[in-house]
Structure 1
Amino acid sequence: MPHLTSHVLDAATGTPASGVAISLSTASGAPLASAVTDADGRAGLGPDLLEPGDYTLRFETGDYFAARGVEAFYPFVTVTFRVTGERHHHVPILLSPFAYSTYRGS
Protein backbone atom coordinates (compact mmCIF):
# COMPACT_ATOMS: atom_id res chain seq x y z
CA MET A 1 0.00 0.00 0.00
CA PRO A 2 1.36 3.47 -0.82
CA HIS A 3 2.17 5.78 2.06
CA LEU A 4 -0.61 8.11 0.87
CA THR A 5 -4.10 7.18 -0.31
CA SER A 6 -7.25 9.10 -1.09
CA HIS A 7 -10.92 8.34 -1.59
CA VAL A 8 -13.28 10.70 -3.42
CA LEU A 9 -17.02 10.33 -2.90
CA ASP A 10 -19.57 12.26 -4.92
CA ALA A 11 -21.99 13.36 -2.21
CA ALA A 12 -24.50 14.65 -4.78
CA THR A 13 -24.99 11.21 -6.31
CA GLY A 14 -23.98 9.05 -3.34
CA THR A 15 -21.42 7.19 -5.43
CA PRO A 16 -17.63 6.93 -5.68
CA ALA A 17 -16.10 9.61 -7.90
CA SER A 18 -14.16 7.63 -10.48
CA GLY A 19 -11.85 9.34 -12.93
CA VAL A 20 -10.77 12.25 -10.71
CA ALA A 21 -7.18 13.25 -11.46
CA ILE A 22 -5.11 13.91 -8.33
CA SER A 23 -1.61 15.32 -8.08
CA LEU A 24 0.71 15.36 -5.08
CA SER A 25 3.33 18.03 -4.58
CA THR A 26 5.40 19.52 -1.82
CA ALA A 27 3.79 22.57 -0.25
CA SER A 28 6.27 24.69 -2.22
CA GLY A 29 4.95 23.20 -5.48
CA ALA A 30 7.52 20.56 -6.47
CA PRO A 31 5.59 17.70 -8.14
CA LEU A 32 5.89 14.23 -6.58
CA ALA A 33 3.18 11.95 -7.99
CA SER A 34 -0.15 11.77 -9.76
CA ALA A 35 -3.02 9.31 -9.99
CA VAL A 36 -6.61 8.94 -11.15
CA THR A 37 -9.33 7.55 -8.92
CA ASP A 38 -10.51 4.05 -9.79
CA ALA A 39 -14.08 2.76 -10.08
CA ASP A 40 -14.35 2.83 -6.28
CA GLY A 41 -13.11 6.46 -6.12
CA ARG A 42 -9.77 5.40 -4.61
CA ALA A 43 -6.20 6.27 -5.53
CA GLY A 44 -2.74 5.63 -4.11
CA LEU A 45 0.06 8.11 -4.64
CA GLY A 46 3.79 7.52 -4.21
CA PRO A 47 6.49 7.72 -3.14
CA ASP A 48 6.53 4.75 -0.78
CA LEU A 49 7.47 7.01 2.12
CA LEU A 50 6.82 10.71 2.57
CA GLU A 51 9.40 12.58 4.59
CA PRO A 52 8.06 14.79 7.41
CA GLY A 53 6.81 18.08 6.02
CA ASP A 54 3.89 19.77 4.32
CA TYR A 55 2.30 18.42 1.13
CA THR A 56 -0.53 19.43 -1.18
CA LEU A 57 -3.04 17.27 -3.02
CA ARG A 58 -4.84 18.84 -5.98
CA PHE A 59 -8.11 17.22 -7.05
CA GLU A 60 -9.30 18.13 -10.57
CA THR A 61 -12.96 18.43 -9.59
CA GLY A 62 -13.99 20.74 -12.43
CA ASP A 63 -12.91 18.19 -15.04
CA TYR A 64 -14.77 15.45 -13.17
CA PHE A 65 -18.06 17.37 -13.15
CA ALA A 66 -17.63 18.73 -16.71
CA ALA A 67 -17.29 15.15 -17.99
CA ARG A 68 -20.70 14.47 -16.45
CA GLY A 69 -22.31 17.65 -17.81
CA VAL A 70 -22.65 19.15 -14.33
CA GLU A 71 -21.96 22.81 -13.57
CA ALA A 72 -19.54 23.15 -10.65
CA PHE A 73 -18.22 26.05 -8.59
CA TYR A 74 -14.73 24.72 -7.83
CA PRO A 75 -12.44 24.02 -10.82
CA PHE A 76 -10.12 22.17 -8.46
CA VAL A 77 -9.73 21.48 -4.75
CA THR A 78 -6.42 21.66 -2.94
CA VAL A 79 -5.77 20.08 0.43
CA THR A 80 -2.53 20.86 2.21
CA PHE A 81 -1.59 18.55 5.07
CA ARG A 82 1.35 17.76 7.32
CA VAL A 83 3.27 14.49 7.56
CA THR A 84 4.94 14.06 10.94
CA GLY A 85 5.92 10.40 10.94
CA GLU A 86 5.87 7.12 9.09
CA ARG A 87 2.20 6.24 9.64
CA HIS A 88 -0.03 5.70 6.61
CA HIS A 89 -1.85 8.86 5.50
CA HIS A 90 -5.35 8.79 4.01
CA VAL A 91 -6.84 12.06 2.75
CA PRO A 92 -10.43 11.60 1.51
CA ILE A 93 -12.83 14.23 0.21
CA LEU A 94 -16.61 14.35 0.05
CA LEU A 95 -17.51 16.26 -3.09
CA SER A 96 -20.52 18.00 -4.58
CA PRO A 97 -20.73 20.59 -7.38
CA PHE A 98 -20.82 23.47 -4.89
CA ALA A 99 -19.13 22.17 -1.74
CA TYR A 100 -16.52 19.79 -0.42
CA SER A 101 -15.17 18.54 2.89
CA THR A 102 -12.10 16.61 3.90
CA TYR A 103 -10.66 14.94 6.95
CA ARG A 104 -7.70 12.83 8.05
CA GLY A 105 -8.77 9.29 7.39
CA SER A 106 -7.28 6.04 8.59
Structure 2
Amino acid sequence: MKTGITTHVLDLGEGRPASGLAVTLSQQTASGWEALGDGRTDADGRVGLWRDLNLCVATYRLSFATGDWFAGQSRDCFYPMVDIVFSVDDATTHYHVPLLLNRWGYSTYRGS
Protein backbone atom coordinates (compact mmCIF):
# COMPACT_ATOMS: atom_id res chain seq x y z
CA MET A 1 0.00 0.00 0.00
CA LYS A 2 1.19 3.49 -0.87
CA THR A 3 2.01 5.80 2.04
CA GLY A 4 3.19 9.38 2.31
CA ILE A 5 1.76 12.82 1.63
CA THR A 6 1.01 14.51 -1.70
CA THR A 7 -0.71 17.75 -2.63
CA HIS A 8 -2.22 19.34 -5.73
CA VAL A 9 -2.94 23.07 -6.12
CA LEU A 10 -5.46 24.40 -8.61
CA ASP A 11 -5.83 28.12 -9.37
CA LEU A 12 -9.61 28.35 -9.70
CA GLY A 13 -9.47 31.99 -10.77
CA GLU A 14 -7.46 31.13 -13.86
CA GLY A 15 -8.79 27.61 -14.34
CA ARG A 16 -5.38 25.91 -14.36
CA PRO A 17 -2.84 24.22 -12.08
CA ALA A 18 -0.81 26.52 -9.83
CA SER A 19 2.72 25.69 -10.96
CA GLY A 20 5.80 26.97 -9.15
CA LEU A 21 4.10 27.53 -5.77
CA ALA A 22 6.42 26.95 -2.78
CA VAL A 23 5.18 24.41 -0.22
CA THR A 24 6.68 23.31 3.10
CA LEU A 25 5.72 20.14 4.95
CA SER A 26 6.12 20.15 8.75
CA GLN A 27 5.32 17.78 11.59
CA GLN A 28 4.19 18.88 15.03
CA THR A 29 6.51 17.75 17.80
CA ALA A 30 6.63 18.36 21.55
CA SER A 31 8.87 21.39 20.93
CA GLY A 32 6.91 22.89 18.00
CA TRP A 33 6.83 22.44 14.24
CA GLU A 34 9.68 20.54 12.59
CA ALA A 35 10.12 21.17 8.85
CA LEU A 36 10.37 17.93 6.91
CA GLY A 37 11.10 19.53 3.56
CA ASP A 38 10.34 22.19 0.97
CA GLY A 39 9.12 21.77 -2.57
CA ARG A 40 7.42 23.56 -5.45
CA THR A 41 4.40 22.53 -7.42
CA ASP A 42 5.20 21.14 -10.86
CA ALA A 43 3.56 22.13 -14.16
CA ASP A 44 0.48 20.12 -13.16
CA GLY A 45 0.29 21.87 -9.75
CA ARG A 46 1.44 18.77 -7.85
CA VAL A 47 4.06 18.04 -5.21
CA GLY A 48 4.89 14.36 -4.84
CA LEU A 49 8.15 14.94 -2.99
CA TRP A 50 6.87 13.32 0.21
CA ARG A 51 5.16 10.37 -1.49
CA ASP A 52 7.52 7.85 0.13
CA LEU A 53 7.73 9.56 3.51
CA ASN A 54 7.72 7.20 6.49
CA LEU A 55 4.65 8.54 8.24
CA CYS A 56 3.89 8.29 11.91
CA VAL A 57 0.66 9.03 13.72
CA ALA A 58 0.99 12.79 14.23
CA THR A 59 -0.22 16.21 13.18
CA TYR A 60 1.24 17.61 9.96
CA ARG A 61 1.12 21.01 8.26
CA LEU A 62 1.39 21.99 4.61
CA SER A 63 2.34 25.69 4.28
CA PHE A 64 1.71 27.29 0.90
CA ALA A 65 3.47 30.61 0.05
CA THR A 66 0.46 31.98 -1.80
CA GLY A 67 1.38 35.66 -1.43
CA ASP A 68 4.75 35.20 -3.12
CA TRP A 69 3.16 33.07 -5.83
CA PHE A 70 0.45 35.63 -6.66
CA ALA A 71 2.98 38.51 -6.48
CA GLY A 72 5.13 36.67 -9.03
CA GLN A 73 2.17 36.93 -11.39
CA SER A 74 1.54 40.62 -10.58
CA ARG A 75 -1.71 39.71 -8.81
CA ASP A 76 -2.89 40.64 -5.33
CA CYS A 77 -4.33 38.12 -2.92
CA PHE A 78 -6.11 38.21 0.41
CA TYR A 79 -4.33 35.23 2.03
CA PRO A 80 -0.52 35.61 1.75
CA MET A 81 0.01 32.19 3.36
CA VAL A 82 -2.23 29.14 3.55
CA ASP A 83 -1.51 26.58 6.26
CA ILE A 84 -3.39 23.29 6.17
CA VAL A 85 -3.04 21.36 9.42
CA PHE A 86 -4.23 17.75 9.41
CA SER A 87 -4.00 14.57 11.46
CA VAL A 88 -2.48 11.32 10.30
CA ASP A 89 -4.20 8.55 12.23
CA ASP A 90 -3.07 5.64 10.03
CA ALA A 91 0.62 5.66 9.15
CA THR A 92 0.17 2.85 6.62
CA THR A 93 -1.93 4.83 4.15
CA HIS A 94 -1.52 7.67 1.66
CA TYR A 95 -2.71 11.22 2.42
CA HIS A 96 -3.52 13.50 -0.51
CA VAL A 97 -4.32 17.08 0.52
CA PRO A 98 -5.44 19.30 -2.40
CA LEU A 99 -5.72 23.08 -2.27
CA LEU A 100 -8.28 24.90 -4.43
CA LEU A 101 -7.11 28.51 -4.60
CA ASN A 102 -8.14 31.89 -5.91
CA ARG A 103 -7.13 35.45 -5.03
CA TRP A 104 -9.83 35.86 -2.39
CA GLY A 105 -10.23 32.43 -0.84
CA TYR A 106 -9.35 28.78 -0.75
CA SER A 107 -10.76 25.36 0.02
CA THR A 108 -9.24 21.99 0.85
CA TYR A 109 -10.29 18.42 1.47
CA ARG A 110 -8.80 14.97 1.90
CA GLY A 111 -8.35 13.59 -1.58
CA SER A 112 -7.50 10.15 -2.83
Instruction: Label 1:61 to 1:2 Cα distance change in 2 as closer, same or farther (>3 A).
Output: farther
- Percent identity, aligned pairs only, is 47
Q: 2:95 aligns with which of 89, 94, 98?
A: 89
Q: Give the number of aligned pairs.
A: 106
- The alpha carbon displacement at 1:22 in A equals 0.4
Question: What are structure 2's unaligned runs of at least 5 residues?
Answer: none
Is the Cα contact below 8 Å between 1:55 and 1:82 reproduced in 2? yes
SS of the equivalent of 1:63 reads helix
**Cα deviation digits, residues 20-50 of structure 1 (max 9, x gap):** 1000111331111111000000002336221
Counterpart of 2:99, as a letter, is I
Q: Tell me whether 1:35 sits opposite 2:39 in the alignment.
A: yes
- Normalising to structure 2: TM-score of the pair? 0.89
Q: Which runs of 5+ in 1 are unaligned?
A: none
For residues 91 and 45 of structure 1, the distance between their equivalents in structure 2, rounded to whole angstroms, comes to 13
Matching residue's letter, 2:26: S
TM-score, length-scaled by structure 1: 0.94
Q: Quote the offset at 1:16 in angstroms.
A: 0.1
Regions of 4+ moved over 3 Å: none
SS of the residue 1:29 aligns to: strand
Which is richer in strand? 2
RMSD over aligned CA atoms reads 1.3
Aligned residue in 2 for 1:12: 13
Structure number with larger C-alpha Rg: 2
